[in-house]
Amino acid sequence: MPAVNTGRSHLAALAVFAVSLCCGIALAGSLFFDEELLDKVGNKYGAAARQRFVDWQNLIETSKDWPDTEKLRRVNDFFNRNVEFVDDIMLWNKIDYWATPTEFLAKGAGDCEDYSIAKYFTLVEMGVDESKLRITYVKALELNQAHMVLTYFESMRSPPLVLDNLKPAILPATQRSDLQPVYSFNGTGLWLAKSRGSGQHVGGSDRLSLWTELKSRMLESPF
């Protein structure tokens, strides 16, 4: 990709990226971090963070012709392998904080919500139909605690595939008896998950304050 010389180019690119993600518009291959922005990431967060951004951009740029199943596998592996699990209270000094994908990658750490959110937005950017993706709040029965995963519906009649930071293999929900679904959402809706299927639609995802705050931060600042 050719170099961009304008001083504000990286901010414009991030603004387009943030708007596309928040509005649920898939612009596969549009993500572009120029050297100026990458250097700012490196200066603030270190060389490892800079490389995470380079690798993230490369992942998205090379995904154009992949089937959805390959996109799911690559994105799930990328975040599970490159980001460390750290509780919000330790990382952000807050009981619950939903990080943007750029915050997540810059820190190189986050909790289950952050993994699920980053995977969701990355797959949307790679061209996966947003209607097939749900960020799903579950109870992890083996741990006896709340947890969040990303789910992918090939169709509303089939059990969704589960992308999880706890278990690396992508499996159908019917094979994840350790997870009890509670509710799910994406950029357009909110569903009560009374079963392992699609669930009952109960309104817009703007009812979730942490989701609304997350999208606002994405539009205000990249990090």
Picking from 77, 117, 82, the residue whose alpha carbon sits closest to that of residue 101 is: 117
How far is Cα 148 from Cα 98, in angstroms, rounded to an integer?
A: 11
The pLDDT of residue 197: 57
pLDDT in tens, 157-178: 889 999 999 999 999 999 999 9
**What angle do helix axes 35-45 and 47-61 make, rounded to 10 degrees?**
140
**Which of 52-56, 125-129, 179-183, 200-204 is predicted with the least confidence, judged by mean pLDDT?**
200-204
The pLDDT of residue 191: 80
Strand ranges inside the chain, DSSP E: 84-85, 109-110, 133-140, 145-152, 161-163, 171-172, 179-185, 190-192, 200-203
The type of residue at 96 is D
pLDDT in tens, 38-91: 999 999 999 999 999 999 999 999 998 999 999 999 999 999 999 999 999 999
Instruction: Kindly state the DSSP code that residue 7 receives in the 8-state scheme.
Output: T
The pLDDT of residue 196: 53
Cut 0.75: pTM above it: yes
pLDDT at 15 over 90: no
The pLDDT of residue 223: 61
How far is Cα 86 from Cα 112, in angstroms, rounded to an integer?
A: 9
> Mean pLDDT, the chain, as a whole number?
84
Q: What confidence tier does 186 reach under pLDDT thresholds 50, 70, 90?
A: confident
The pLDDT of residue 210: 86
pLDDT at 220 over 90: no
The pLDDT of residue 33: 80
Picking from 128, 118, 195, the residue whose alpha carbon sits closest to that of residue 150 is: 118
